[in-house]
A and B are shown apart, each in its own frame.
Chain A
């Protein structure tokens, strides 16, 4: 599909009033939750036009999260790749070490506005759980984090962090005992506690208005990037690259650039051990999935011919989810963004390379975006510019990486 007159027909006005991004998105939830998410939408509309809300959000991003974070020119990485200039958006320098906190600040402010007295959240690797536990502590609201029992075992340091921050961590034993089951369990809890509980969803998925509001809170990434690249280069970049699990860091980076059709947009899915190996070996919903309905929205899902959800796999726990945010599904369908995939091994290589060349330990999630530019940057001229979203830092991943490299620590 070609994009005609983007300025008069903006791509930045999605979703429609029913929460659809083209055929994707929507509100596929149990009836018990419908009144609640309709309320949330109303409250979010009010908050969006309330200067006091925006002011408090900006204050906390500045003074608590440490924004704006730098857009850093990676000179040695650029030289190594021998093509386009590489800039890194340093989300990993945020408080709690990733982009997740941007969204959590926004949602806890909404929870407070709605008078909710209890917070729940799901987490995979634990990054969103830590960010949620952090804001819950800051606002003195009790908080329960649902985490797959398998992830609780794999991510012990983050479990301890959440507990230090005062959160209750509930290990989910159902299903495959990973992120999707944690989300199922969070939804079950929410249905039973609608009167007092606010569900802080960690990515641009779930029922409307979550994909929209999480995107809006994360869009600070792209807005800062625009200003910073104009300052550094006097023009917009030629390409944006970000990793995509649910896709919140990516959409936060992409959204402010959607109408700038000269800016190429590339999302990077996790190919795990290889997409060609089939179900259970990768987490690439667009490359290896099909449209379907799960967790409140319609999007690309890993599923079998009967619509049963199949297991995702990625070395990066944050990308280990069988779906993708509905706005990404739509951007893929209309051709505005391109989605590529990167294997565990490629991500591991890129992880180590950034450590050595730039003195930055990236999250394994972000290492997927770095691996993608290994192929993209050398094909572009030295006058071209790529911005990579360095969505998180890799301290949490050193055990996983050591194990993959056969090192005992």
Chain B
């Protein structure tokens, strides 16, 4: 049986995490289909066609404009009969609807996999990544969310055919009243090559901006934060890197004024190179940093910006 990957997209284009999920699906040994559910989502489907799937299924209807968990689940369940595995990115998009799909199919969900042992056995982090569990599923359909940082995106493929699939009826269970999206010229946190991240040591939201934005601008980096900085109101929640925020693994992660709580390390310890700047040499962040700089961030960061 084939494998179904649910595309994360904004109708016009495919999100990077979809490609990582396709890479995981490709390792399961069967034909992979990509489902694009959206409204006027031809752009996303066209990008999906060259992302490595054998077929793209396009469900294009107004009831998928908001990508509500209720309507996406109805659609995925209507298609599930032909598939041995259903995969989605373990992003806030995938986490929202995928357990709903699993429960409707009366199967377990395997969350946030970082490794594939065989078609029924997977590796996933537990306890904030302090342990790795290898789990085996006996369910007829394996419903899996994929940690995108654990699977490298495949190269572009020759275009696969795009087929329209029948839309399911609007469940009418949920209505979007509004959206406030942060407009940013910076790269997406989950896909950035360099991340500059700030913690409680920044002291305030103003200081976070004043100190870190010039560094991020200079490096073309995304901005992140520890939970402590989010809790203190320095930055919005979607900046949060950690166990319950975003899991990232950039080429370079610069942790500024971050102590290195277990929950934060869980979100960034797979970064290729970690830099820590903190005035307290005893902070746990230094234990995992490749390059630790013990210094007052208020002096060191502007100096770094000037030196780059």
> Do the two chains belong together in a single complex?
no
**Which residues of B are at the interface with A, using a C-beta cutoff of 8 A?**
none
A residues bordering B, Cβ < 8 Å? none
